[in-house]
């Protein structure tokens, strides 16, 4: 491989790839734990973990060992064939999520698409079974979602979005989605119609700005969905896998959905893998030719996912996320800076909302100068989602760097 400079790499990327992100002018060469190392050898504190993907730290030796061991056997197997690692993954994931059945995917937005198909098929099967007494007629199914959601950028997920920045220039959209305010149980009750087949929400909104709903909200929506006989779906692609100090954010209220979407950190920060898990009467509806994915259920991804679940089941990582997250939020709040409007979150799923007028791009650049990689969630919310192995002393560095940036704004 040609030995290129960091400037050469930045230029190459800009010249031949789609401009999907406004990339910071830094070239990452390797990672270790909570640290990233640049091409020039600079060490940066990772306060971002690639959208809450790298929960167990960069180059986690247990994850790497699982990957290498499986890669020496076989990496991919046709979905029409059986594989022991894939079977173990399916069994373990159902046990880990307390689900009856799973439907494998590669990335989170694919899992969302699969959940939409499951909800709609359930409604239309009811039509064929009960005829005139069915509540859903063909092509009329409605799925309720929340404003400010982020379920991905494929067409069903984009159609469910209310963010004009994601939607502009991409219509027409997939019909059948009804958006209500997040955290408002009464709005859910009002929105349900005879055509409603399910309610999909993030227990904590991530990309929308790290919004935590009022206490008891998830229990309320569970009761409402039960009463209306519609499915409740939790998108825990970001808020799951220990991120909030429990395996899943919904565990804080002890609420179990009919379907749960998992992804991101499920792949141990090494490979993409995702799934829809849930009730037999829903996931069990999928039959041959209903759905499929060439690489879903691939042994290499399954192997790292199994080890990721092993790590979480030991409990140390989730306990650390709860303890260090509370510690970090307390110290940021103690800064009491007029430009900080609110600090909110759960575990290490934290948002710091800034006053309007603070440039998000400039904020990230200044934090980079302080030796940290951060990311925004929404226009004015700085996201703190580091690897869950971060220590209190390492968060002290983050607070100190933030304090230095605030002094310069």
Is 264 a catalytic site residue? yes
- The helices-and-strands tally (H runs, E runs) of the chain is 14, 15
Q: β-strands 231-235, 196-201: how paired?
A: parallel
Record the tokens describing residue 201, joined without a space: 């929400």
Is 39 a catalytic site residue? no
C-beta pairs of 38-43 under 8 Å, 24+ apart in sequence: 38/6, 39/5, 39/6, 39/9, 40/6, 42/371, 43/371
Record the tokens describing residue 174, joined without a space: 């997939």
CA distances from 219 to 205, 234, 241, 247 (A): 17, 12, 21, 18
**Of 135, 184, 199, 235, which one is the catalytic site residue?**
235
CA distances from 14 to 19, 28, 33, 403 (A): 7, 16, 29, 32
Rounded distance, CA 341 to CA 335, Å? 11
Rg (CA), the chain: 22
Rounded distance, CA 60 to CA 51, Å? 17
**Of 150, 199, 234, 384, which one is the catalytic site residue?**
150
Rounded distance, CA 347 to CA 351, Å? 11
Is 150 a catalytic site residue? yes
Residues annotated as part of the active site: 150, 235, 264
């Amino acid at each position: 491989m040609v030995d290129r400079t960091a400037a050469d790499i930045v230029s190459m990327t800009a010249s031949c790839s789609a401009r999907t992100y406004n990339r910071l002018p830094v070239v990452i060469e390797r990672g270790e734990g909570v640290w990233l190392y640049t091409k020039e050898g600079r060490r940066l504190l990772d306060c971002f973990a690639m959208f809450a993907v790298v929960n167990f730290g960069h180059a986690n030796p247990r994850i790497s060992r699982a990957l290498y061991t499986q890669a020496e056997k076989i990496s991919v197997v046709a979905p029409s064939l059986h594989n022991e690692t894939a079977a173990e993954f399916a069994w373990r994931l159902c046990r880990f999520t307390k689900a009856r059945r799973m439907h494998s995917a590669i990335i989170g937005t694919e899992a969302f698409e699969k959940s939409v198909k499951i909800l709609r098929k359930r409604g239309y099967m009811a039509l064929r079974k009960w005829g005139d007494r069915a509540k859903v007629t063909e092509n009329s199914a409605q799925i309720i979602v929340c404003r400010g959601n982020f379920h991905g950028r494929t067409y069903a997920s984009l159609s469910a979005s209310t963010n004009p920045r994601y939607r502009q220039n991409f219509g027409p959209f997939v019909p059948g989605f009804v958006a209500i305010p997040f955290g408002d149980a009464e709005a859910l009750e009002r929105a349900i119609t005879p055509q409603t087949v399910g309610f999909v929400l993030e227990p904590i909104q991530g990309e929308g700005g790290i919004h935590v709903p009022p206490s008891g909200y998830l229990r309320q929506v569970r009761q409402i969905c039960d009463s209306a006989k519609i499915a409740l779906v939790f998108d825990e692609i970001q808020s799951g896998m220990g991120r909030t100090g429990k395996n899943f954010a919904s565990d804080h209220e002890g609420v179990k959905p009919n379907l749960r979407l998992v992804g991101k950190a499920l792949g141990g920060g090494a490979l993409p893998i995702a799934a829809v898990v849930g009730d037999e009467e829903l996931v069990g509806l999928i039959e041959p030719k209903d759905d499929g994915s060439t690489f879903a259920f691939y042994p290499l991804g399954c192997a790292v996912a199994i080890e990721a679940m092993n790590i979480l089941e030991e409990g140390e990582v989730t306990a650390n996320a709860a303890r260090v997250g509370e510690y970090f939020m307390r110290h940021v709040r103690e800064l009491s800076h007029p430009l900080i409007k609110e600090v909110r979150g759960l575990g290490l799923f934290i948002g710091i909302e800034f006053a309007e007028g603070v440039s998000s791009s400039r904020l990230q650049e200044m934090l980079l100068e302080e030796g940290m990689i951060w990311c925004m969630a929404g226009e004015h919310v700085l996201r703190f989602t580091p690897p869950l192995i971060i220590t209190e002393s390492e968060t002290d560095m983050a607070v100190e760097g933030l304090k230095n940036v605030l002094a310069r704004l």
